[in-house]
Amino acid sequence: MYEAVDIERIAGAALLGSAILVTGLGYALFLALARLRGASRLRKLFNGISLTSFALLVASVIGFSLVMNFSGWWYVISGLMVCGYFIAPRFIWRLTETMHEDESK
């Protein structure tokens, strides 16, 4: 039979794992909305929401690391994941701009 502590860890890991996905999605979505040309009025708002989503992402990763009792290299892997979540949407946006640059001319 499972102990109550194990079930709490599994539930906490599932909740924080889904929070990582949702906040990562929010960061990428609002970063893209902030960079659209037609959204000049809402640009600061969307940029603020994207950075808030990223801060929540970092908090979720820290919480996930604590719930799962990570140690050693797992902290490095978690840090690389956070860096990837920060950098990837920016590079994808630049790639999309470059790919569609010829269409606008």
Return the axis-axis angle of helices 73-99 and 43-67, rounded to nearest 10°: 150
Least confident of 12-21, 57-66, 92-101: 92-101
DSSP state of 41: T
Q: Is the pLDDT of residue 103 over 70?
A: no
Q: Quick one: pLDDT at residue 39?
A: 66
Query: What whole-number distance in Å separates Cα of residue 98 and Cα of residue 38?
Result: 18
Within a 13 Å sphere around the CA of 19, how many CA atoms are in the beta-carbon half? Answer: 19
Q: Which residue has the tokens 């959204």?
A: 39
Cα 54 to Cα 8, 11, 18, 28, 76: the distances in Å are: 26, 23, 14, 9, 18
User: What is the per-residue pLDDT across 20-74, written as a single tens digit (0 to 9) for each?
Assistant: 999 999 999 999 999 887 767 788 899 999 999 999 999 999 999 999 989 899 9
